Structure 1
């Protein structure tokens, strides 16, 4: 009996979370517990438990006389998360360098070319997807699994903020892709690993700075 309850709770958690991440549930949207319970063929109890977990993950807010609603865009949270990713990805890139041989570097080149092609077609959603793939491919070669896990957790948090940085600030995209070219060049030419780390970190911080500039206008 206990196992079934946990299963229903997890099912509700995954269903609600996926709808938040993919944008089906937008900022400010109310989560109707009875409706979700009916969809999943469960009672309201596991849905409420799932909602409590999503509240603890800061994906939902409880509003008096309304109930749980999807959190609105949080400027400070977005900025802080990007800054944390910048530090972690910079160091992960440094540690990954010895594992990035010619085939891996050619794959990164192709990913960046695909991004340029998508950008030329104004397909920012695809650019964003490829950008995540590009950076994931680098840091998955980092031998420190704790750092990789931390990056994944922060990136999951970014996925819940409803819009990627390119969608929020499309003018940043061409500069970001040029920085990808430079990063690949630094790794290919076997530059000092500290220089590579600092460049990879600044690449992400440039997104933060670009976002800040846009928000002040």
Structure 2
């Protein structure tokens, strides 16, 4: 395996583990352990970590070394609020052009999300949820809007990492809202109604996440004083 290939392999392995939550926010990344696991020297691992640092996924702390960048809750909420506006507009635009025969595909994706939730496969749930919305967005007729949404998704993923913000109760509500969204598209609901509904769909997730973070902070304070 060439040096560049070793570096790329290490990069892909570490990045995948960060994005899927295998490496948790704040967790130390031990270069020697990864090198031993991948049967390579520490040099390509260090180079991979440098690239991940440039992407904002890795930070270096004095006397500790490389760690997974902690979640910035405020930045995540800011990004999600922007996504809510873009998602509402893209969904409403797409609803006018979305083929009725593809509504079945949306329902199948939603059913698969429900099954993933039943199986506690939160990573798959997140992937299916993203696919559900992107399937709709593809018909918005605005390439720049699609590109902007993709950039916001990347921003959110770099802040949050998939799976770290999973809230089961909100997941069930999200599936139900998807069904309502499909019905609105099926019955040609007004542009403004779909726009507002799809926007609120994301904002509900934002509020659920905010409440989740506040509850976690409360529990941490209680544990500190016990």
* TM score, norm. by length of structure 1: 0.81
Determine which of 16, 19, 29 is the counterpart of 1:18. 16
**Contact 1:165–1:207 under 8 Å retained in 2:** no
Q: What is the match of residue 147 of structure 1?
A: 145
Distance in 2, matches of 1:154 and 1:18, equals 19
Q: Is residue 123 of structure 1 aligned with residue 123 of structure 2?
A: no
Q: Is residue 164 of structure 1 aligned with residue 154 of structure 2?
A: no
SS at match of 1:27: coil
**Contact 1:165–1:211 under 8 Å retained in 2:** no
How many residues are matched? 211
**Structure 2 unaligned runs (5+)?**
216-226
* RMSD across aligned positions (CA): 2.7
Q: What is the match of residue 87 of structure 1?
A: 85
Distance in 2, matches of 1:9 and 1:118, equals 33
Superposed structure 1 runs of 4+ greater than 6 Å apart:
none
Tell me by how many angstroms 1:205 deviates.
0.7
Q: What is the match of residue 181 of structure 2?
A: 183
Q: What is the match of residue 137 of structure 1?
A: 135
**Contact 1:95–1:143 under 8 Å retained in 2:** yes
Distance in 1, matches of 2:178 and 2:23, equals 33
- Alignment CA distance shift 1:149-1:50 (3 Å): farther
Determine which of 187, 195, 198 is the counterpart of 1:197. 195
**Contact 2:27–2:67 under 8 Å retained in 1:** yes
Q: Is residue 32 of structure 1 aligned with residue 30 of structure 2?
A: yes
**Structure 1 unaligned runs (5+)?**
none
Q: What is the match of residue 41 of structure 1?
A: 40
Q: Is residue 114 of structure 1 aligned with residue 112 of structure 2?
A: yes
Tell me by how many angstroms 1:18 deviates.
1.3
Distance in 2, matches of 1:165 and 1:188, equals 33
Distance in 2, matches of 1:122 and 1:103, equals 29
